[in-house]
Amino acid sequence: MAKPIVLDQEWLDRIATQVNGLEYGSVLITVHDGRVVQIDRTERKRFETGSAKQQPPAQLAGDKLKAVGK
């Protein structure tokens, strides 16, 4: 049977700090024996320029290999 997760205000504050301001990404909470032991934050940044929006999408590496093998 799984133990109930023990969360005190300190952990709730830590989790909120990691989530606040996150536009793209994820927050991973690791639990051992019903206790939070680790918080991992992965943040993604997306950059778009005016010229990049107008250009056709680049070919994928696999597409280039298929074109060479013809």
What is d(CA 29, CA 41) in angstroms, rounded to the nearest whole number?
Answer: 9
pLDDT (tens digit, 9 = 90+) per residue, 19-68?
998 999 999 999 998 899 999 999 998 888 876 555 566 666 666 555 55
Would the pTM count as exceeding 0.75? no
The pLDDT of residue 46: 83
Interior angle at CA 22, CA 37 and CA 58, nearest 5: 115
What pLDDT is stored for residue 51 in this prediction?
62
Asked if the model's pLDDT at residue 69 lies above 80, the reply is no
Contacts (Cβ under 8 Å, ≥6 apart) of 39: 14, 15, 18, 27, 28, 29, 30
Ordered by start, the domain boundaries in the chain are 1-44
